[in-house]
Chains A and B, each alone.
Chain A
Amino acid sequence: MLSRKGIFSQKYSLYWMMAPLFIYLAAFYLYPLIYSVYIGFYEWSLGDATKTFVGFRNYVSAFQDSQFTGSFLNTAIFVIAAVGIELTLGLSLALLLNRESWPMRILRTVILLPTLITPLVVALTWKALLNPDIGALTYYIRAVGIDIGRGIFVERGLAMAGIVLIDVWQWTSLITIILLAGLKGMPIEPYEAAYVDGASRWQAFRYITLPLLRPTILIALVVRTLDAMKIFDSVFAITGGGPGTATTTMNFHIFKVGIQHLKVGAASAMSNIFLLFSVLIGLFIIRSVFLSARRKGGAV
């Protein structure tokens, strides 16, 4: 073999170990992406023979489309609420389950159940549970005396909360699992030292656990944020973006324009804006990971 000297040597390993991935991404990821940027400059409906070059008109129209700009805000509210609650709940659950005993081990798998169900089926299940008149959950919510008006997905002020609830249900355990792993990887020494010095549990958590867990939390945050921004299934299956425009999210609006109305040019322009926005937010969060990692000297 030529492996020591030739093209397969360590020197070139950088290239051939990574080449398959990058060739793959170039073919199947970059191509569609570039196509989307290209088609964003055209007025084109799926099935039309001709494309008309319109420059930035699709982009201008996107910003004039009040449903699109509104969906921007709706998505932001959704992401902040859903990811915020998921992180808080996920962290609590991770801390509670961070013990080695057989019930805990079983629980750690059982809580994964929500992630094992197709999101669209999850949405339909919750639609049935929260059916404003005959849903099982609605029944219990009313039975304990909580006022949900005509129903969660009927009231303009509650519908988005319902969508958030579903997302929290499905993805909290994913965060828990990620954070549990982070907790498992933590060194024991700082705690021993701290307890010797008479620190309380709360102090140990505040000054040791949280800082050490921070990079893991931020990574869970990036992944969930990027996924949550794409929220689609529950809106599609339950509210159709309503009541009014209360739950119209970006991905849902783009789906409607592109796949249902077939206006691919306009939809591509919108999704390019959306993608840029997602990337900026992702970069922002990743920058925080870098900064915190550097400050802590690259500690886990």
Chain B
Amino acid sequence: MMSSPLGQHLRWAKLGSGMMRTIIIAVLVVFLLFPVIWLVTTSFKERIDVFQLPPQWIFQPTMSNFEYVFDKKPIEMWTLNSLIISVGTTILSLLLGVPAAYTLARRKFRGKSLLITSILLIRALPPVVILIPFRVLMNSVGLIGTHTAVILIDTIYNAAFTVWLMVGYFEAMPVEIEEAACVDGCSYFRTFRAIALPLATPGLVTAALFSLILSWNDFLFALSLTSPPSATLPLGILSTFGMLSVGWTYMTSMCTIAILPLLLIALFLQKYYVQGLTFGGVK
């Protein structure tokens, strides 16, 4: 091993262009993609071939796993539920988080940094802590087992992230644009809605994407708060896991199905989100 990983990077940067760079990117990408490739290829394998050694990468693919999960599992319902919950969470997080973030970015008041810090620290909350009281609360208002219950708890984490992200984004936006556009004096809300928001589109897209990813993947909350008709894809994926015989091929084929929508969304939004994370940091 070389002295320090950072040192390594610097040496790479110096070598710079061409071969070296390509090789390093290739190695990292292989590391990041290898398990995904295993997952996707396994979903096209016969059950008996999953653990063949040496591992098989080229083989006669079968669709039987996909047929099984579409035939035996309510995968359309799970996908729809996952979509409802993650889109609902995203919309709610943005509705709650973005106006607050704009105000936190544009207004000065005492205790502002403390406030932003506390919002960010919501992310530190261990899920197990709030699970039980939250469930009792949802039950008492009759929301247990509904999509809404999961949306409400996912939004706690996602709204916090949205605020954090958007405060940085709004702060990085020059205030002069808003002032210039409203020489004749717009209302505060109008400035926010008609001028700041459109300019902040990349930031909004990024916040939305992160929120989608987080709630699309949520397992623990969905497990504790949904009922069978509102169950999500991750729960479905896990239900292929028998104790004695794991349905590896079924699990991976459902997982392949579950990745696709998000991957498409991410590809579609890619021009926004790298730009969108250009924030100014917490002030």
Q: Give A171 to B153 CA distance when docked, in angstroms.
A: 22
A contacts with B: majority SS: helix
Q: Are A139 and B120 touching (Cβ within 8 A)?
A: no
Q: A161-184: contact bitstring with B at CB < 8 Å (1 yes, 0 no)? A: 000000001001100011011101
Most A CB contacts (10 A, CB to CB) among B34, B121, B129, B282 go to B129
Contacts of B168 in A (CB 8 A): 219
Report which of A116, A182, A258 forms a contact with B262, defined as CB distance below 8 A. Answer: A116
Q: Could you tell me if A181 and B278 are in contact, using CB atoms closer than 8 angstroms?
A: yes
Contact of B207 with A by CB under 8 A: no
Among residues 5 to 38 in chain B, which have CB atoms less than 8 Å away from a CB atom of chain A? 5-6, 8-10, 12-14, 16, 21, 24-25, 28-29, 31-36, 38
Q: How far is the CA of A36 from the CA of B137 in the complex (A)?
A: 13
Contacts of A17 in B (CB 8 A): 99-100, 102-103, 188-189, 192
| Given known contacts A92-B12, A111-B29, A113-B259, A31 and B137 CB-to-CB distance under 8 angstroms | yes
B53 in contact (CB, < 8 A) = yes
Q: Are B248 and A36 in contact (CB under 8 A)?
A: no
- CA distance in complex: A137, B131 (Å): 36
Interface residues of B in 211-243 (CB under 8 A from A): 213, 216-220, 233-234, 237-238, 241
Name B6's contact: one of A88, A201, A259, A283 (CB within 8 Å).
A88
B156 to chain A, nearest CB (A): 5
For B8, B113, B262, the residue with the greatest tally of chain A CB atoms inside 10 Å of its CB is B262
Most buried by A among B33, B124, B218: B124
Q: Which residues of A contact B120 (CB under 8 A)?
A: 222, 282, 286
Count of residues in B whose CB is under 8 Å from the partner chain: 104
Tell me if A18 is interfacial: C-beta within 8 Å of chain B.
yes
User: Which stretch, A21-29, A48-56, A64-72, A148-156, touches the partner chain B?
Assistant: A21-29
The 0/1 profile, CB within 8 Å of A marked 1, for residues 179-208 of chain B is 000000001110010000000000000100
Residues of chain A lying within 8 A (CB to CB) of residue B54: 139, 143
A114 in contact (CB, < 8 A): yes
Closest to B232 in A: A118
Residue of B nearest to A223 (CB): B123
Are B117 and A283 neighbours in the complex by a CB distance under 8 Å?
yes
Q: Is A10 an interface residue, CB under 8 A from the partner?
A: yes
Q: Can you give 15 A-B contacts (C-beta < 8 A)?
A: A4-B187, A28-B137, A28-B153, A29-B130, A92-B9, A109-B270, A116-B213, A119-B219, A137-B34, A181-B277, A202-B10, A254-B126, A275-B126, A289-B281, A293-B283
